[in-house]
Amino acid sequence: MTAAPRLVTAVGGPASLCRFRGALVGAVLGDCIGGEFEGTEPEEIPLDRVLQYLDGLEDETRGDSILQYSDDTAMTRCVAHSLLTRAGFDEQDMARRFAKEYNLAPFRGYGAGVMQVLKKLASPQLSDVYQPARAQFGGRGSFGNGGAMRAAPFALAFRDRADVRRYTRLGAMLTHSCSLGYNGAILQALAVHLSLQGALVLPQDFLKTLITEMEEVEKDESARSDARALNESEFPFCARLHRVKELLERNNVSVEEVISELGNGIAALHSVPTAIFCALHCMEPREGLPEKYGGLERTVAFSLSLGGDTDTIACMAGAIAGAHYGIDAISQSWQRCCEASEEADMLAQRLHNMYHRAPPEGDPGVLSSGNSQQHLRGGSSSEPQPPE
């Protein structure tokens, strides 16, 4: 008997509860399932191997075997809990949560660089929580995807796009002070935020909006200087988004081409645009992927086939796709197999309540962030800066 295809269309209106739940649960699934392939192949993973593994997740005899989450979900949980507890962004609280989470479970796959930052953030003598990240790599900071992997809650907490950009940047800079790191986090948060609003229905318009947003973000002189220092174009994320657009316009795109054009590594520049491509590419049925798969399942499977940093790319792609398709499109068996999927669902519901209780765009609601007063929703004209 052939299984019926799952619902693949978007579910619910803009910013609906099912979309919020889909975003965070989709991120956890991508992380947990992707972690099973992490480090196995620097290049593509045969699709039949991926599908064979995913078929096993549907096996009712699997029992209590649970796929563990990585640092991606560990830090995403910290972001969500901090935003909810403080009713907005508080860098001191978020930094403290990062350090405590690492101390409780250092086995989650943290990178060597961020481990040093988190150890310093745990110091009670530390007054400037941004200093440890700024000191990394000879003062250049990290351009990895660690800020992007945990960006989804920012997209769910703030109605105003400017606030999504602002607070994602500040949250990412707690561990990633290079613009190619925190701008990657901004791009990921914007992609999830737009997907929540239903923007994936028109992929080219979705990309056009992202490019416009990132042109504004990347025109900053420090961002352009960082890009030049790393031998990248002065608007590196915009350039990658144009490549995403070109790849989507081709009839047939191979996994090898995606890896070559966009990357599959740990740098934000080599993974965030890749995750966006995965979500957009898999909105339609694809050769080699089962007909029974819905869009989110196709997205996760295709992400895994790219190899490289599988857990983080699948985590980010899962958040974008989950925000589009909603929780009802996510396989129950996949959810049961993944550690913390129930908690992610609960956090998404709380963030949805926070989002809809907030003042509407343009109505200044004030919250405390560290020692400064900042607008919660779109009322501020100047962007708060981390201390120099």
Asked if residue 185 lies in contact with residue 172, where contact means CB atoms within 8 angstroms, the answer is yes
Is 160 annotated to bind a ligand? Reply is no
Assigned token pair, 113:
């660089």
Is 128 annotated to bind a ligand? Reply is no
- Report the 10 Å Cβ neighbour count for 231: 6
First to last CA, the chain: 64
Assigned token pair, 314:
């699948």
Tracing tokens 């019926």 back to the chain, one arrives at 4
One-letter identity of residue 232: E
Asked if residue 331 lies in contact with residue 76, where contact means CB atoms within 8 angstroms, the answer is no
Nearest to 325 by CA among 65, 16, 64: 16
Is 328 annotated to bind a ligand? Reply is no
Give the Å distances, CA to CA, from 371 to 2, 6, 100, 387. 60, 49, 21, 11
Is 71 annotated to bind a ligand? Reply is yes
The length of the chain, given as a count of residues: 388
- Which residue ranges make up the annotated binding site for Mg(2+)? 70-72, 309, 311-312
- Which residue ranges make up the annotated binding site? 70-72, 309, 311-312
